Amino acid sequence: GHLGRAGHPGAQLELGRHFMAGDRIKADPARALDYFRAAAASGSGAAAFELWEALAATEPSLALDYLRQAAESGLPEAMGELGVRLFPGSPDEALPWLKKGAAAGHVAAMAQLGGAFFGGRGISEKKLDARRWFRAAGQVFVPDGRGGAYFGGDSKGRVMHARADGSVRTLFDASEDEVRALALGADGALYAAALSASAVSGDEKAAEGPAPAQSAVGGGRSTVYRIVPDSSVVPWWVAP
């Protein structure tokens, strides 16, 4: 408490986290924000990121300023998050942050880079780069036949669509944890195999980034969905 009152940013950050979580003290979000603001004003990127997370829903413009501060401090999760947030409206500004975040292991930034490179929206890199980033993020993907790609993975049951113009959208959000395979059928529908257990290996070295598990995951529920983009999604097969 003394260090926090004395203006030590590390102590202010920790005090803010304790008050936000109610960890061993009574939760006090307003007081937590005061400590985060004080720490951020002293240059703490981690405190600025806490402010981004706390204010994103209610004060998005101010929150984005804090996110930018956190990214500029070199915080990996902030660099990747800033790139993801900026990309829809400012892909050129987003790209350097996406690359920095992806290089630091930010999975969403890797996936966004894959989608951006596949669509080529203001980006000159070849499709090979898209495949590299998709794989680095533990993503499975399949070209959509129109210059873009469908992809999924990253420990979430989402199927995403990177369109030819470089935009990325969520096509389907399955209740399962992981999308393990994607295929375009002869009928024009997209088939997505989802599993209710994580398909990302947790024993890889952090510097190498996440990678798909090398062995089957046991104890999970498997479902194959038939997806007609912008029309319908139905379970096509469920494991007995």
pLDDT, residue 112, reads 78
pLDDT, residue 38, reads 95
Element (H, E) at 11: helix 9-21
> What mean pLDDT, rounded, does the chain reach?
81
For residues 119, 179, 49 and 112, what is the CA-based torsion angle, rounded to 10 degrees? -10
The percentage of residues in the chain with a pLDDT greater than 70, rounded to a whole number, is 78
What span, in angstroms and rounded, lies between the C-alpha atoms of 195 and 129?
A: 27
3-state percent helix, strand, coil for the chain, nearest multiple of 5: 45, 20, 35
pLDDT, residue 88, reads 80
Place of tokens 């993020």: 137
| Full DSSP string of 168-192 | EEEEEE-SSSEEEEEEE-TTS-EEE
**Segment 163-213, tens digit of pLDDT:** 776 677 888 988 888 888 899 999 999 999 998 864 444 444 433 444 444
Q: Comparing C-alpha atoms, which of 101, 127, 104 is closest to residue 114?
A: 127
pLDDT at position 215 over 50 = no
pLDDT, residue 208, reads 40
pLDDT, residue 120, reads 59
Top-ranked range on mean pLDDT: pick from 25-34, 107-116, 163-172:
25-34
pLDDT at position 150 over 80 = yes
